[in-house]
Amino acid sequence: MVNVPGAFQYETCLLKHHVRANVWLPMAKEQLKAIRASVKSEKEKRRLRYFTFCAVGAIDVLMLDLAKVVRTSENGRFDTIYFFDKDDERVAETTRRIPGAIGFVGDFVDTVLLDDPQEATFVDTLEALEPSQTELDELATRAKQRQLAVRRQFIQAFPFDVVNLDLEEFLFKDRDEYPGRLINALRKVFAWQCRQLAQPKPVPLDSFTLFFTTQVGPPNLSDEYQARLEGNLNTNLAADAELIELLRQRAGADDVSTIRGRDFDLFFKLAMPKMLAATLMEADWYIDPAPGIGIYEFERDSISGPYKMLHLAMRVRRQEPPVERRGPREDAPAAADAYRTVVRRVFSEQEQIVTLDSIDQDALKQSLTSVFARRKRYYPEDEPPEI
């Protein structure tokens, strides 16, 4: 990797690795413990299934490998690890470092939202994609067919025990029509999480761990977009009177419009996790209120100036009874109670600010050194960066 002055150094950032080592790792361990506790016999034991945006270096995967949270197959393959990257070269480079991992090529959001007229009939088969009968056999058609094939393979890989949406981009984008393409992609991903595990026997997941990363902003969202987010928060305030006092204590005001005008960052930190929680509820999941949503913030330098990143971490549970045994627009009682609790905590609790002064730099450097040594074991040609 080439170091560009002023650019974020992804692999060696100690703030980022603090989140990996002290948030992602312990929560993934808890998810593995839940998997092991759920099986009744040796025959039902399985390895943790992990979806990630690991970048070429695959630091998160190798960290989990070192901790024996993810395990390779008997022949040394990371075949329960799945990831997305934008081109064939990056996917190939990643699999050199985590051999056997399954990489999907393409833009994640574009792929997930790609229209597939045959989606209802293909998902439980492995049949090859049939050539289009209505489109010309030209480059654009063949590219779409290839991306449809990637999308189908991705859907068939669900569900995952840990979903790490480390997208490194804005959740809300002014050019997107509300609520945005990423939220609509998450709707599909969370719905696909309801698919049954194929092995060792078909069973649904009752929980998974979700990590989500986003930049704070953008502050130049249109007035219409911000007003829609504001209206979403006002709906919560109208439904739960306790939120008004919680908001007043947190923000010094109980009017969302006032907060939005004077402190966009705080407005974003209220609107974004609340929308994520609602999107999960819509897909028949809910956030476990203990511990709720952990939110970690740190600032990065860049060529164009500093910006803030938020890392969210949560345990997600399936609503019980599931949607097919409930009435229309009826949430499971435990899920509805949990949602209220989670939203109250979003309104009342501050995010955790991560700085170089607040972390154990020596321990994190040692952790990264171990990760880079592990990577060299799988890919001897690797040259680790200086920490």
Residue 240 belongs to a domain: yes
Report if residue 384 sits inside a domain: no
Q: In this structure, is residue 387 part of a structural domain?
A: no
What's the CA gap between 124 and 144, in Å, rounded?
Answer: 21
Token digits of residue 337 = 């109670």
Peptide bond into 179 cis (omega under 30): yes
The Cα 359–Cα 339 span in angstroms is 31
Q: How far apart are CA 364 and CA 14, in angstroms?
A: 6
Tens-of-pLDDT digits for all 387 residues of the chain?
A: 334 343 347 799 999 999 999 999 999 999 999 999 988 777 778 999 999 999 999 999 999 999 999 999 999 999 999 999 999 999 999 999 999 999 999 999 999 999 998 887 765 554 445 555 555 556 778 888 999 999 999 999 999 999 999 988 899 988 888 999 999 999 999 999 999 998 667 888 999 999 999 999 987 888 889 999 999 999 999 999 999 999 999 999 999 999 999 999 999 999 999 999 999 999 999 999 998 999 999 999 888 889 999 999 999 999 999 999 999 989 999 999 999 999 999 999 999 999 999 999 999 999 999 999 999 999 999 999 999
Residue pointed to by tokens 């897909």? 283
Q: Is 142 part of any domain?
A: yes
Strand partners of residue 307: 300
Is there a domain that residue 2 lies in? Answer: no
| Integer Cα distance of 281 and 339 in angstroms | 8
8 found inside a domain: no
Residue 300's H or E segment, with its range, is strand 294-300
Does residue 153 contact residue 43 with C-beta atoms inside 8 Å? no
Torsion of CA 343, 348, 349, 351, to 10 degrees: 80
Model pTM score: 0.93
Which residues constitute the domain of residue 300? 16-378
Kindly report, residue by residue over 159-175, the tens digit of the pLDDT: 999 999 998 889 998 88
Is there a contact between 313 and 294 (Cβ–Cβ < 8 Å)?
yes
CA gyration radius for the chain?
21
Let me know the angle formed at the C-alpha of 317 by 316 and 319, rounded to the nearest 5 degrees.
Answer: 135
Tell me the pLDDT tens digit for each residue of 19-78: 999 999 999 999 999 999 988 777 778 999 999 999 999 999 999 999 999 999 999 999
Domain count, the chain: 1
Q: What size, in residues, is the chain?
A: 387
Does residue 340 lie within any of the structural domains?
Answer: yes
User: Tokens for 323?
Assistant: 């949607």
Backbone φ, ψ for residue 184 (5° rounding): -65, -35
Per-residue DSSP letters for 324-363?
A: GGS-TT---HHHHHHHHHHHHHHHHPPPEE--TTTS-HHH
DSSP code of 79?
A: T
